[in-house]
Structure 1
Amino acid sequence: MGIESEKDLSESKKDKHHHKLSEQIEKLTAEKDEVFAKLQRVSADYMNYQKRSARQISESVAYEKEWVIKSLLPVLDNFEHSLCGAEKIEDAESLRKAVKMIYDQFLAVLKNHGIEQISSVGGKFDPVCHEAMMNRSEPDKEDCVILDEFQKGYRLGEKVLRPARVIVNKLPVPASEPALEQNPPDEQNDTDGQPKADEPENGD
């Protein structure tokens, strides 16, 4: 009787232990399924974010292109009007004024987009935004001053889109003066620089 009771007690403990392990396994399985479901949702959200970001970037680029093109259309219209009216213009000054007006309008459009011309003539040469095409020497101006401009440069904010091609003033380097040669001391002079008197001969 005692042996059977111990056996039943041992089996009961095993059953409880197995039941406890089963509960832990079920709990871990449920947690695993929950974590896996969250990972699937995060992965799906990230994929949707990537698609949405790519679409937004594409739409933004298309919008910027559209904005730039629309801002240039009035300039193109003025060119067309000037060409149509060129036959009626009798003097060159009127034509020059018309072209200058379109040129100023185009610069204004570029400025609205953050693009500006690089200042050159009269300023100091800067290798970041200037490209020296040749040197010229004008003594009445400072060294490394820009004298003339072949082609204008442009910058977008702090970024140089195209450096200005310029002529730079280059003054000649002055030749160094030769050192003055010191004459050797005249043996006929005394320490005061006066000629030595003839020494009397012995016996006089």
Structure 2
Amino acid sequence: MSNKEKHKKEEQEKAQQETAQQPADDQLEQLKKEKDDLFLQLQRVSADYSNFQKRVPRQIEERVAYEKEQVIKALLPVLDNFEHAVEKGKTAETPQALLDGVKIVYEQMLSILKQFGVEQITALGENFDPSMHQAIMQRTDTDKKDNIILEDFSKGYKLNGRVVRPSRVAVNKAAAAQTEAKEAAKPSPDGQADDSIDETVDTQ
């Protein structure tokens, strides 16, 4: 084989190698481009998340401040009416006139609380419910059912259905009192009713 033919063959082999290498180079270039695009997207997502972390606490703080402002604005008219009631009370001809003014302010206050999702818990005459009522006293009224609330010392309130303060109440324990009375009336071992307690009281 002459040098010319040998050189020509080498040129052909080189061209074939370059042709075979081209698709691999193109694929590598495409992968690099995709990698760069993904990296840019990741940077944007990271920046957005960082801004989100900074923005959310500020938004919460602003929202809380706004809600406080709305509550205060709603309560200011009630305060105004209290002041008016106090002033009128100084010149009221009868206690009833002052009482009527206070009742109006009280109803206004309840109406405003209702606008914010606050409602009173019904207690008086209801069955005792430990999830809404706090028993601070027990009484006995045999004319009423056991476990009925006899007195509501301080109103309970719920906010959007959730108890924020239970009602402080007195609960009827008629059944317990009747049981104690029956036990006290049972005959003693000698066949007589046990009246030792009464005798003790009488001797003092």
Higher alpha-carbon Rg:
1
Task: Letter of the 2:40 partner, please give it.
Answer: A
Distance 1:162 1:73 in 2: 23
2:134 pairs with one of 107, 124, 131: 131
Output the aligned Cα RMSD: 2.5
**Which sits farther off after the overlay, 116-125 or 35-44?**
35-44
Q: Residue in 2 aligned with 1:95? A: 98
Q: 2:84 & 2:49 partners in 1: Cα distance?
A: 53
Q: Does 2:18 align with 1:15?
A: yes
The gaps in structure 1 that reach 5 residues or longer are 179-204
Q: Secondary structure at the match of 1:138?
A: coil
Q: Deviations along 1:7-29, whole A, 9 cap, x unmatched?
A: 44443333334433322221111
1:161 aligns to 2:164 (yes or no): yes
Q: Any idea what SS the aligned residue of 1:167 has? A: strand
CA offset at residue 32 of structure 1?
1.1
Question: What SS class does the counterpart of residue 98 from structure 1 fall into?
Answer: helix
8 Å CA contact 2:88, 2:98 repeated in 1: no
Q: Within the alignment, does 1:58 sit opposite 2:61 as a pair?
A: yes
TM-score under structure 1 normalisation? 0.76
* Aligned mates of 1:129, 1:20 — CA distance in 2: 76
Deviations 1:180-201 (A, max 9, x none): xxxxxxxxxxxxxxxxxxxxxx
Q: What residue in structure 1 maps to residue 193 of structure 2?
A: none
CA distance in 1, matches of 2:49, 2:76: 40
Give, in angstroms, the shift of residue 79 of structure 1: 1.2
Letter in 1 for 2:31: L
Cα separation, 1, equivalents of 2:83 and 2:24: 87
Structure 2 unaligned segments of length 5 or more: list them: 187-204
How far, CA to CA, are the matches of 1:144 and 1:95 in structure 2?
A: 37
TM-score (norm 2): 0.76
Q: Which amino acid is the alignment partner of residue 78 of structure 1?
A: N
Which is richer in helix?
A: 2
Please show how residues 14-53 of structure 1 align to structure 2 within 5 Å.
14-53=17-56
Q: 2 CA distance for matches of 1:9 and 1:150?
A: 106
Structure 1 residue 80 and structure 2 residue 83: aligned?
yes
Residue 171 of structure 2 aligns to a residue whose secondary structure is strand
Partner Cα distance (2:23, 2:141) in 1: 99
Aligned residues: 178
Q: Which amino acid aligns with 1:37?
A: L
CA deviation after TM superposition for structure 1 residue 4, in Å: 5.1
- Aligned amino acid, residue 92 of structure 1: P
Instruction: Name which of structure 1's ranges 2-11 and 88-97 shifts more when overlaid on structure 2.
Output: 2-11
SS in 1 for 2:14: helix
Among the aligned pairs, what percent are the same residue? 46
